[in-house]
Each structure stands twice: as C-alpha cells, then as structure tokens.
A = this chain, B = another copy of it.
Amino acid sequence: MARQELHIHLVSDSTGETVHQITRACLAQFPDADVTEHVWTLVRTDEHLELMFTGLMRNPGILLMSIIDKDMRDKIEARCKKMGIPAVSVLDSVVNLLASVLGQAQQNLPGGQRQINSAYFARVAAVDFAVSHDDGMNMGNLAEADILIVGISRTSKTPTSMYLAHRGYKVANYALVPGVPFPAHYLDGLDLFTVGLTNDPKRLSAIRKTRQIAMLDNENKTYADIGAIEEEAKEARRLFNRSGWPVIDVTRRSVEETAAAIIQLHTNWRESNA
C-alpha cells in the first residue's frame, strides 16, 4: 500500500498533553499512515487562532482539539467546516457524559488549570516519594506508600516505580540481596499492597554481564553466574509465596506493561478488600 501523508493539527488551550496522548494512542492503529503533527498549545486568543488557521491552510489535513471555552470551540468548528477540514473535539463525549451524570454544567475553567495543577502537584509528590523510597531507602516510613515492589537486582524496580509515580501512585521498592533476609518487620501493622518481581535467570545473567562490563567490575564473580542467579531467584520466589505476594515475571514486558500489571493487581486487591 502506498504511504499517504496526513497533516494532523493538535490544538489545545492548555499544554496539549491530553490531545497528544490521544493522537498517539489512535495512530497506533494505523501503522502505515505517514503523519506530520502540528502542535498548537495555549491557544486562548483570536490572534493565536488566526496564526493556527494560517498554518492549517498551508498544510490542510485534520484538526483534533482539546478546547474548553465553548465560544472558541464554535469558532474553530465553523471555520473548519468552511475550509472543509474535518475537526473533532476529543473530550466532548466524556465531558458530556460527566455533565449528565453529575447533573451540573462544566465550569469552563480555561485549560482546567486548577485541577491540572493539583494533579500535577500530586504527581510531583509521588515522584518525590519514589525517589526517596528507592532501593530500600526509608523503609521505616512505609505507612504513606500505596505499593511496595520487592525484587532481586535488575528486575526494573526503579524505572517501574518512576512510571507508577508518574501515574500518581506512591511506590517504594526494595532490592533483595542474596543471603540477607527481607526485613519483614517494616510491614508490621501495615495493610500495604506488595508485589514481587522476577526475571528469567538466563536473561538476568546476560543483563548483569553487560552491566558488569559497562561498570568495569571484574570482582563480583557470583553477580552474573547463572547457578547463583537461579538460587537467588528461587529464594525470592520462596519469600513471595510465603508472604502471599503476587508475582510478576518481567522477562518479556516493557516497563509500561509491568506497571500496568501492577496497577491491575493493586485494583483487584483494593476492590476485594473494600
């Protein structure tokens, strides 16, 4: 099939993050499409609208918008109709549903700035929490955590924690060390969702060898040794089983997929505890 070029104009009265995310998710369904994105952010004035329309005329295609102000949305729709440009207001279906079930009108907050900021600060707090509770730090202070991740070395604990923090979860992680028992007393009296991560020993050995070469470490012979790693992984599994923690094998998962699996387990745990 010949590749077609499509210009997509993403128009937002705020940072454009939402319309960008939606576009990325939808374009994943059309891998053959050859797309050029034109990102118009913070569009809040008529002057800015004119600038955007000039760009749209130069490279016509489609327009996807996340614009709260109804007047501005109407203006864009009218103009696009005249130009023959298909335009979709991406949040309309959800906002309309919310307005009807909540029985209240939307507030027309420009860019929804207030809540976006509070969501932003919650995310910043979650990221701070992940940074200060990485790799066994501050284990005495887990009461605030939503999730604890436990796993042996190189099972993506830190990037997974960071991704979950970006989604708003407060996550601590603890790296199991061979021969050192897990300090279970930190969990006493807490009702904390905990998950164990494992990885295929063969893959772990390969990852660790690469890492040792990069770090010029010739000292630690057991770190990448397959027999030792198998024993280490078995010991971790025994701990997970004994503690009744769910286990995720990260072998063929991206960080995002591991995080999604943890969110799902956390939901199941919370729903069945509710």
Q: Which A residues have a C-beta under 8 Å from some C-beta of B?
A: 1, 4, 6, 12, 14-18, 20-33, 38-42, 51, 54-55, 58-59, 61-62, 64, 66, 68, 86, 88, 90-95, 97-104, 106-109, 112-117, 119-120, 167, 254, 256-257, 259-261, 263-264, 267-268, 271, 274
- Tell which of B27, B109, B261 touches A31, judged by Cβ atoms closer than 8 Å: B109
The answer to whether A106 and B30 touch across the interface, beta carbons within 8 angstroms, is: yes
| Residues on the B chain within 8 Å of A263, using CB | 15-16, 39, 41
The answer to whether B102 and A51 touch across the interface, beta carbons within 8 angstroms, is: no
Minimal beta-carbon separation of A230 from chain B (angstroms)? 28
Please, how many angstroms separate the alpha-carbon atoms of A92 and B1 in the complex?
A: 24
Minimal beta-carbon separation of A43 from chain B (angstroms)? 8
The verdict on A101 contacting B86 (CB below 8 Å), with A29-B68, A39-B267 known, is yes
The answer to whether B28 and A116 touch across the interface, beta carbons within 8 angstroms, is: yes
- Tell which of B32, B58, B113, B167 touches A274, judged by Cβ atoms closer than 8 Å: B58
Minimal beta-carbon separation of A11 from chain B (angstroms)? 11
The answer to whether B38 and A115 touch across the interface, beta carbons within 8 angstroms, is: no
Please, how many angstroms separate the alpha-carbon atoms of A112 and B257 in the complex?
A: 12
Please, how many angstroms separate the alpha-carbon atoms of A40 and B88 in the complex?
A: 27
Q: Chain copies in the assembly?
A: 2
Please, how many angstroms separate the alpha-carbon atoms of A33 and B26 in the complex?
A: 29
The answer to whether A94 and B256 touch across the interface, beta carbons within 8 angstroms, is: no
Please, how many angstroms separate the alpha-carbon atoms of A135 and B139 in the complex?
A: 33
The verdict on A23 contacting B94 (CB below 8 Å), with A42-B257, A68-B29, A102-B30 known, is yes
- Tell which of B23, B40, B267, B268 touches A267, judged by Cβ atoms closer than 8 Å: B40
The verdict on A117 contacting B264 (CB below 8 Å), with A18-B21, A32-B104 known, is no
- Tell which of B6, B17, B25, B90 touches A93, judged by Cβ atoms closer than 8 Å: B90
| Residues on the B chain within 8 Å of A30, using CB | 98-99, 102, 104, 106-107
| Residues on the B chain within 8 Å of A259, using CB | 15
- Tell which of B92, B102, B267 touches A38, judged by Cβ atoms closer than 8 Å: B267
18 further interface pairs, Cβ-Cβ under 8 Å (given A18-B25, A22-B94): A4-B102, A12-B260, A15-B256, A15-B257, A25-B91, A26-B94, A27-B115, A28-B112, A29-B98, A29-B108, A30-B99, A30-B106, A38-B271, A39-B263, A39-B264, A42-B261, A42-B264, A120-B256
| Residues on the B chain within 8 Å of A14, using CB | 260
Please, how many angstroms separate the alpha-carbon atoms of A175 and B32 in the complex?
A: 41
Please, how many angstroms separate the alpha-carbon atoms of A139 and B51 in the complex?
A: 33
The verdict on A116 contacting B68 (CB below 8 Å), with A88-B97, A91-B26 known, is no
Please, how many angstroms separate the alpha-carbon atoms of A61 and B98 in the complex?
A: 11
